[in-house]
Amino acid sequence: MLSVQMEQRVNLKFLVKLGKTFIEAYAMLKEVYGSVCLSRSQVFELFKWFKEGHETIEDNPRPGRTSASKTDENVGRRLSSIRELAEITGIDKECVRQISHESFNMRKVCAKLVPKLPIPEQKESRMNICADILNNIHIDPGLLDTVITCDDKIRKN
């Protein structure tokens, strides 16, 4: 069974052989595949590729490391530091960072990777803390007058 992307490539190759224009071919793909349709630029590149007479629907091999570094085992230890994961797996640090960012939607906080969105328990805890602060402000409206804020540009006389 072909993936959706490969299926679209086969269909685009067919449309090129039928003599359809890029606009017609893209409109047909968009109508059939909707939100999972390849982007306009991807369709344009593939359309040009098939128009030039190329027959293969597979990607050309790319230079650099193979994508075999993205395995279930490597992806399983997501709460480790990038350096630690790179040392354990033997993968370049940038590859590890891309995998954690793109596959898990994670970002770096201090030295650990954590999810970008808080979990429900964290949201509830934050709501409770904010509610307590608001209650304290309602009880003592002058509470915020006691808060001192500054930035890193404090002037010394």
Residue in 47, 48, 12, 45 with CA at minimum distance from that of residue 29:
12
Q: Where are the domains of the chain?
A: 4-51, 68-157
Its CATH class, for the domain covering 4-51, is mainly alpha
pLDDT-derived band at 13 (thresholds 50, 70, 90) equals very high
Tell me the pLDDT tens digit for each residue of 95-142: 888 887 777 777 665 555 556 677 888 889 999 999 999 999 999 988
Q: What is the mean pLDDT of residues 54-69?
A: 70
Lowest mean pLDDT among 6-10, 12-16, 74-78, 96-100: 74-78
Q: What are phi and psi of 61, to 5 degrees?
A: -60, 140
Structure tokens at 144: 């915020």
pLDDT of residue 20: 93
> What are all long-range contacts of 97-105, with beta carbons under 8 Å and residues at least 24 apart?
99/69, 99/70, 99/74, 99/75, 103/70, 103/75, 104/75, 104/78
pTM for the full predicted model: 0.41
